[in-house]
Amino acid sequence: MSTISLKLPDSLLLRLDQESRQRRMTKSALVRAALERELEQPETAVGASCYDLARDLAGSLKKLPKDLATNPKYMEGFGR
């Protein structure tokens, strides 16, 4: 495994330190995991729809009307 160095703002370093203690893992392991997650994600470049960007949120709220997205009565008074 190779070694690199990087500069972090004090506030980010503090957050990294706190998170590594909370998760009981080294700062290096936490940074590696974050980099792997970031680099594995597909690029959200031009052409990505709103749904593509928020796909993981679809259906995450419970107890809402089943026709919320299609029934015009829910838009009455919107924007006033």
Given a cut of 70, whether residue 76 has pLDDT beyond it is yes
Task: List Cα–Cα distances, 45 to 6, 18, 41, 42, 52, in angstroms.
Answer: 26, 32, 11, 9, 11
- Identity of residue 8: L
pLDDT digits (tens, 9 = 90+) for 10-56: 999 999 999 999 999 999 999 999 999 888 876 655 677 888 888 88
CA distance 76 to 80: 9
**Structural tokens at position 45:** 């470049």
- Amino acid at position 70, single letter: T
- The residue ranking higher by pLDDT, 64 or 42, is 64
Query: Do 16 and 31 contact (CB within 8 A), yes or no?
Result: yes
Kindly report the CA angle at 37 between 6 and 45, in degrees rounded to 5? 95
